[in-house]
Amino acid sequence: DAKTTQPTSMDCAEGRAANLPCNHSTISGNEYVYWYRQIHSQGPQYIIHGLKNNETNEMASLIITEDRKSSTLILPHATLRDTAVYYCIVRVARAGNMLTFGGGTRLMVKP
């Protein structure tokens, strides 16, 4: 699986958009980008994933650059409850291929 690079930490003001970047310059054509988050003392939670096109769901939007070498997870209106570690993971969507978690970005949403 391609290696990902994320900032160690970020701050965001409550109510503002949180934009979390992820670099995956060695991504292959059949690798998807997945985002998970882990709120303190809880298990990781799936957020969203995509291959080429931008994706949006009730939690977030995922913007993938045209060359697919980087992506941005957008939380449109961050709340205090969005404070968490956010993991960007790149993997082939194959049944036997597992998720490998890196260090992630610690997002702190401040009032």
Partner 1 sequence: DAGVIQSPRHEVTEMGQEVTLRCKPISGHDYLFWYRQTMMRGLELLIYFNNNVPIDDSGMPEDRFSAKMPNASFSTLKIQPSEPRDSAVYFCASRGTGRTGELFFGEGSRLTVL
The whole-angstrom separation of Cα 75 and Cα 48 is 11
Tell me which stretch binds partner 1 (CB under 8 A): 2-10, 16-24, 28-36, 55-63: 28-36
Q: Which is nearer to partner 1, 17 or 92 (CB)?
A: 92
* Of positions 5, 9, 13, 46, contacts partner 1 by CB under 8 A: 46
Candidates 4-12, 17-25, 65-73, 95-103; binding stretch for partner 1 (CB under 8 A): 95-103
Q: What is the 3-state secondary structure (H, E, C) of 34-75?
A: EEEEECCCCCCEEEEEECCCCEECCCCEEEECCCCCEEEEEE
